Amino acid sequence: MLPSGSIFQPEEAPNRLLLHVCCGPCSTAPLRTLAERGCAVQIHYANANIAPREEYEHRRDTARAYAERVSVPFAEGAYEPERWAKAMANLPDGACTSSDGMTPPPERCRACYRLRFRESAAYAKRHGFDALGTTLSVSPYQYTDIIREELERACEEAGIRAFFEDYSPLYPETVSMSKEAELYRQDYCGCLPSKAEADRGRAFRARERAAKKAARAAAQEAEEAALEERRREQAAYDAKQAKKRAIKDALRHERIRGTEEVCIRGTEE
């Protein structure tokens, strides 16, 4: 997760930047800061990793609608999920499987970044952009260092400048901007394995919350039972003391009555 208090340090922006964008929400604050620096940006939506197709189209349409709203040109890459699957198939065994059911494995994400950046870098080169950047670094759930490495690698291969910025300090701003703009916000990274991981993570956290709630309820129940037991003991003690007092009182009255009778008899005699 994002270290608290991280500060965004803007670089000197190129004149014409092709910005690889993964989704509408992640594009909000980066587009804002690039516009403030006078950078002419075009979005490239190259995300063959996103599945299923309806999800890909939903994210694309959200990103495009936002781009139109802020007057930023938008180009779509090729949606060829089979190309993404082929790139993943070349990974070593186990590289595609999350070990704890929540954290995506870095090898899979590295291959995924590489595929997308290569496509965007080639597009940037063909269309005469000064540099290629990416909004992937917004997310505190992504591998920022690997994003940088793969962006630089793809740009070097294509013969274009890599413009990497760590946008993760802007993440809270992307959340508020996208909420304000009522943009669709997805709940998994993009590929089907990441969907399964996110679902398992949510189920795991729900189980944890339920277990904590049950433990709190059990502790409260035990506390109430202990309190009830103390109340019962106190009541039994009070009753015993009352009985003792009653016996003492009865004896005292008996003694007083006996003394009075002796006195009366003595007077009569």
Q: Which residues bind ligand SF4 (CB under 6 A)?
A: 49, 104, 108-109, 112, 189-191, 194
How many residues comprise the chain?
269
DSSP H stretches of helix in the chain: 24-36, 53-69, 81-89, 106-126, 144-158, 171-180, 192-268
- Residue 42 pairs in a beta bridge with 18
CB of 107 to ligand SF4, least distance (A): 9
CB of 213 to ligand SF4, least distance (A): 30
CB of 87 to ligand SF4, least distance (A): 10
Cα gap 238→240, rounded to integer Å: 5
Which is it for the CA torsion 104, 173, 59, 33, positive or negative? negative
Cα gap 76→46, rounded to integer Å: 6
Q: Which helix (H) or strand (E) holds 178?
A: helix 171-180
3-state secondary structure of 64: helix
CB of 138 to ligand SF4, least distance (A): 13
Which pair of tokens denotes residue 214?
A: 């049950």
Q: Based on CB atoms, which residue is closest to ligand SF4, 49 or 137?
A: 49
Which pair of tokens denotes residue 133?
A: 């950047």
Q: Based on CB atoms, which residue is closest to ligand SF4, 137 or 194?
A: 194
Q: Based on CB atoms, which residue is closest to ligand SF4, 25 or 104?
A: 104
CB of 1 to ligand SF4, least distance (A): 16
Whether 181 contacts 28, CB under 8 Å: yes
Strand ranges for the chain from DSSP E: 16-20, 40-45, 74-76, 131-134, 161-162
CB of 125 to ligand SF4, least distance (A): 23
Q: Based on CB atoms, which residue is closest to ligand SF4, 129 or 188?
A: 188
Q: Based on CB atoms, which residue is closest to ligand SF4, 66 or 113?
A: 113
Read off φ and ψ for residue 163, nearest 5 degrees. Answer: -115, 85
Q: Based on CB atoms, which residue is closest to ligand SF4, 23 or 162?
A: 23
Q: Based on CB atoms, which residue is closest to ligand SF4, 22 or 162?
A: 22
CB of 127 to ligand SF4, least distance (A): 25
3-state secondary structure of 134: strand
**Local structure of residue 8 (DSSP, 8 states):** -
Cα gap 125→176, rounded to integer Å: 34
